[in-house]
Amino acid sequence: MKLKLVKRIWSNEEHIIAFYLYRFGYEELGVNYSRIAEIMGRTPDSLIMRFANFLNVEKKGSGLSGGGEKAREIYKRYKDTPKDELRKMVVNILLSAASKSNE
């Protein structure tokens, strides 16, 4: 019997988290990439792949192509958002996701 893996589409919230991490890192969030990925139900490698999508958008051709439409949308929408405001959004998303996973 073959195991069929189902790809889960990235939500807007997950893209916002990945965008923040791409731009600013994890240090001010108080948790590392592995824990953030765990809260999101993703792998650390999947986060890194998403960073490459944002790099492709920002540097126009560097990083990974493909999967970039949502990355492009999130990048354009949040690139000028102040760091503190974006961090608050990310913390709220992570807290909400963590509490749901503990239910």
Whether 3 maps to a domain, the answer reads: no
Whether 2 maps to a domain, the answer reads: no
Note down the domain range covering 20. Answer: 12-101
CB atoms inside a 10 Å sphere around CB 21: 20
Measure Cα distances from 43 to 49, 51, 94 in Å: 10, 13, 15
Whether 85 maps to a domain, the answer reads: yes
What is the pTM assigned to this prediction? 0.85
- What is residue 62's predicted lDDT score, i.e. its pLDDT? 55
Whether 7 maps to a domain, the answer reads: no
Instruction: Express each pLDDT in 3-56 by its tens digit.
Output: 666 678 899 999 999 999 999 999 999 999 999 999 999 999 999 989 888 988
Whether 62 maps to a domain, the answer reads: yes
Instruction: Express each pLDDT in 54-76 by its tens digit.
Output: 988 888 765 555 557 888 899 99
Q: Count the domains in the chain.
A: 1
Whether 39 maps to a domain, the answer reads: yes
Whether 23 maps to a domain, the answer reads: yes
